Amino acid sequence: MRNTRKWMLAVPAALTLSGVPILQTASDLNAQTSAEGTFVTGSVISADGSIPQEATVTVNISPTQEELIRQAEAFTGTPLASRPMGVEGIPVKKDGSFSVSSADITTTPTSSGVHDVTVIAMDPQGGVSTHVTSMRWDATTKELTAVPMSDPREGNASVNEETGEVTRTPEATAAAAAAKAPAPGTARISGAADRDHALHLDMRLDGVKPQRTTPGDARTNAAGCGLELTSTWREPAIMGEVWSTAYGHETTVSLKSGSSSETEIAVKVGDAWKGGGTVNRELTSTFTAAPSEGPQQKLMKTWWTYGRYNYWSCKEGYVITRQVKAINRYGGHWNTKGSLPSAWHCARYQPGDSESIDRNRATRWSNGVDTSGAIGIDLAIRSGHSSTQTVNTAVKRSDTNGLRLCGLNTGPASDPRTWVVRG
């Protein structure tokens, strides 16, 4: 998948910031984890499956999405460092397990909000494993809790950009793939993660010994450690789908301010990029597409702003992980052709009737963001449906015979991921 991009690249000059708060490490404070307030637990294995003996876990809390947007808009090519927040150096136990609680965080956000949280397992000989997710910081209770995500095994599809052929993955196949051991350098989520359940990660190191690029690149707490934005650009992404074989309807897709999309993160593993988690991105504007009428095989696309980030370890003084992630929807709309879904959970509607999908069961497009030209792989996106993100089909009164709405996985009023309008 290829597209024309507008790039803003970082110049290689080092950035030195004064007055950046010091991010203390767990070893500095002799921090102890506890069951109360625990927001992430897990296990760490080496690339060969053995248990590493010197592994530690670092948690970085990024700025909020609003702050990431402001930073991207201010970016002119020189790397921009964020205030370091989180904790470094939580020891992994001899059995390979770990847990991190809110009490372990040594530098916290100043106000409540949703943040990208990067969990990094690192061993001086066995390498690094990285996972990124969304969590909510409560400035009153001083607690970090997981933001619920949709099940990544549900509603997976991919599209061949050359032919428009859409392949929808059976959920049993997706579940079997999710149950496999994580690829080196990445992690697998086990169980639910929400306000009442800690995120559990099975992390596998990449087998690449972490090294400084050059001794002169080392940075201290006061010299720009933490998350650093190094480039921004725009990518096309799928935001909706409209399918019909009949006339006599008007189908409208709207995305309203405050609704959210789930976007996949890429992390650098050796010389390649791999999927490394999912984060929520709130839409900050309202968009309503012109009504679609007649037969349709439409994939709706828009532009998103993406950023490339380094994480500089405040303890070690060098970059230990890199990531690429969505920042926000930039805007615009155009359509490409896709193959019609085999949707036959049908119900008939009368002239003047309408039905809306306004729930959170939309398709997860596994290659829905065209990042392959930038990092060699495409990334997933689920634009979702919510009470403020709607697909509405209205049967025209001139169609005296009515129409059928045919849900993909269930009936049109039973939370389908999409539907086809049929005669």
Distances 89 to 275, 352, 408 between C-alpha atoms, Å: 24, 63, 47
Return the DSSP state at 271: T
Residues forming a β-bridge with 308: 231, 324
Q: Per-residue pLDDT averaged across 170-187, rounded?
A: 79
In a domain, 370, yes or no: yes
- Assess whether pLDDT exceeds 80 at residue 54: yes
Which range (2-6, 176-180, 197-201) has the least confidence?
Answer: 2-6
- Predicted local confidence at residue 318, as pLDDT: 84
Tens-digit pLDDT profile for residues 187-219: 999 877 888 889 999 999 999 887 665 545 555
In a domain, 3, yes or no: no
In a domain, 117, yes or no: yes
Q: Per-residue pLDDT averaged across 107-125, rounded?
A: 94
Range of the domain at 50: 8-158+170-422
Tens-digit pLDDT profile for residues 360-387: 668 999 999 999 999 999 999 998 766 6
Neighbours of 289 (CB within 10 A): 18
Neighbours of 403 (CB within 10 A): 25
In a domain, 2, yes or no: no
Structure tokens at 197: 């359940």
d(CA 27, CA 221): 15
- Predicted local confidence at residue 398, as pLDDT: 81
- Assess whether pLDDT exceeds 60 at residue 13: no
In a domain, 326, yes or no: yes
The torsion region of residue 243 among left (phi > 0), alpha (psi -120 to 50) and beta comes to: beta
Nearest to 33 by CA among 100, 105, 120: 100
In a domain, 191, yes or no: yes
In a domain, 100, yes or no: yes
Q: What is the mean pLDDT of the chain?
A: 86
The number of domains in the chain is 1
In a domain, 404, yes or no: yes
- Assess whether pLDDT exceeds 50 at residue 185: yes
